[in-house]
Chain A
Amino acid sequence: MPQSQRDVRNRIGAVKNIQKITRAMEMVAAARLRRAEQRIEALRPYADAIRRMTRQAAEAAGNVPRLPILQEHDQMERVGLLLVAGDRGLAGAFNSNIVRAGVAAGRQHDAEGRTPVYFASGRRPATSLTFRGLEPAENFTGFTDRPAYADARRIAERLMAAYIDDEIDKLEIFYNGYISPVTQEVRRETLLPLQQATVLEESDKDEEEARDDRGSGHRPEVEYEPDPEDILRRLVPDYVEISVFRALLESTASEHGARMTAMRNASDNAGELIQTLTLEMNRARQAEITQEILEVVAGAEGLSG
């Protein structure tokens, strides 16, 4: 049965209201995205350089560093998984991609005899994990719109303490790498132990070159001031902090990009829906008019007959 004109008009009104909201959210996300994009782009070269430097210093320090943060644990029993996503939803697959990747990795560790220990940054991954019965060891929330360095430090300190105290034997981190407003990729990186840490492609190449040079004996001995072990004592915590900070910033830029895209799609869909409904309303109005004319004609005929 065709809907009455009034019903359709009400629906159009509702859809228009929703469209206003999604438009507003799209614009807010776009404004925040610009700032978040600048921050992550400024941080990337620094973060890459710190990571390269840490590896180099760790190699130079050799196998005898007495720093517990540098020690590879004999047994690989518990793996810490930090899931970095957002506090809020309405951002397409942004949050669920991270949860899915993290939980899949956790299952795999489980199947291979290692216990996954979850940590969540952002309210969404925290509640998703709890909902699945995978209670995180700790949740960090309330800053994902605009993370400060202090937030990264807090998370990094907790994770490093977990590693030093044998609560975890390995630390993996999952976040949305920001590529463009419409493209984000789920990244999985190993931060600790340093010996197994994920090396980014670019630095991988540099390192191979460095190794070649060393092999051919052209490279002069590197001087350390103070010695590598003292440098590492400060460098490793900095490296973990910066890596976490980078993940937070990548994630924030990705979140705003994902939300902007999701809201734009929602606004476009609302526009299409309004068009369809307007057609339907016109048809309903025409049907009502036709009906009324028929009634008038029928009535007139009845009188004249």
Chain B
Amino acid sequence: MAHEKFRVEVLTPEGEVFNDEVEMVSTKTAVGSIGVLAHHQPILAMLDPTELRLYDSESQCVRFAQAEGYMQVADNRALLLVEEAHAPGDLDASSLRERLQQAERELESAGDDTEKRRVAERDKARLETFLSIAEA
């Protein structure tokens, strides 16, 4: 059954990567995976790195490797603000692996409860997610 469509915008600091009508948005908040359909209750959510799926129809979807960000749903529109969003085809597994190793090294050298540690942890989580998307 076809669902009603609603407007979704995905913005990054480098510009708009998506702005179209879709049936469903599937992403991951700090609490867990979430699927948003048309007329969803207003929500403000913090997003974790994941594969963002924007379903055009039941079977067709646009995918992005998505970094941390926020999602706001209001007035039957979804606005996703993410730090990075890449088409899976643009990801380069070998360079991701390299950056992941560097993040792991930095995590080892970082002291407890420092900003450096938090940055390294976030980098690691994001790169791991991107890598799994690139290798899928």
Contact = CB atoms under 8 A, between A and B. Distances in A.
A293 B13 CA distance: 75
Interface of B: 11-16, 29-31, 34, 41-46, 68, 70, 72, 74, 79, 81, 115
A219 interface: yes
Given A46-B11, A225-B30, A226-B31, A53 B70 contact: yes
Given A222-B41, A225-B45, 19 more contacts: A41-B15, A42-B13, A42-B16, A45-B11, A46-B13, A47-B13, A49-B79, A50-B81, A53-B72, A57-B44, A221-B41, A222-B43, A224-B43, A225-B29, A225-B30, A225-B43, A226-B46, A234-B68, A235-B70
Given A53-B44, A157-B115, A225-B44, A42 B14 contact: yes
Contacts of B41: 220-223
Nearest to B79: A49
A234 B82 CA distance: 13
Nearest to B72: A53
A96 to B, nearest CB: 30
Contacts of B68: 234
A264 B42 CA distance: 52
Contacts of B13: 42-43, 46-47, 149, 242, 245
A85 B14 CA distance: 22
Judged by DSSP, the binding face of A is helix
Contact of B16 (A45, A157, A226): A45
Contacts of B70: 50, 53, 231, 235
19 contacts: A45-B11, A45-B16, A46-B81, A49-B11, A49-B81, A53-B70, A60-B44, A219-B42, A222-B43, A222-B74, A223-B41, A223-B43, A224-B43, A224-B44, A225-B31, A231-B44, A231-B45, A231-B70, A234-B46
Contacts, number: 73
Contacts of B74: 222
Judged by DSSP, the binding face of B is strand
Contacts of B15: 41-43
Given A49-B81, A220-B41, A225-B30, A230 B46 contact: yes
A56 interface: yes
A149 B12 CA distance: 13
Contacts of A43: 13-15
Interface in A280-301: none
Contacts of A56: 44
Quick one: which of A47, A225, A228, A234 has the most chain B CB within 10 A?
A225
Quick one: which of A53, A221, A245 has the most chain B CB within 10 A?
A53
A228 B72 CA distance: 13
B47 to A, nearest CB: 9
A53 B79 CA distance: 10
A75 B136 CA distance: 55
Interface in A126-181: 149, 157
Contacts of A226: 29-31, 46
A39 B30 CA distance: 29
A235 B46 CA distance: 9
A151 to B, nearest CB: 13
B48 to A, nearest CB: 11
A226 B47 CA distance: 10
B55 to A, nearest CB: 20
Contacts of B42: 219-223
Interface in A80-105: none
Interface in A174-229: 219-226, 228
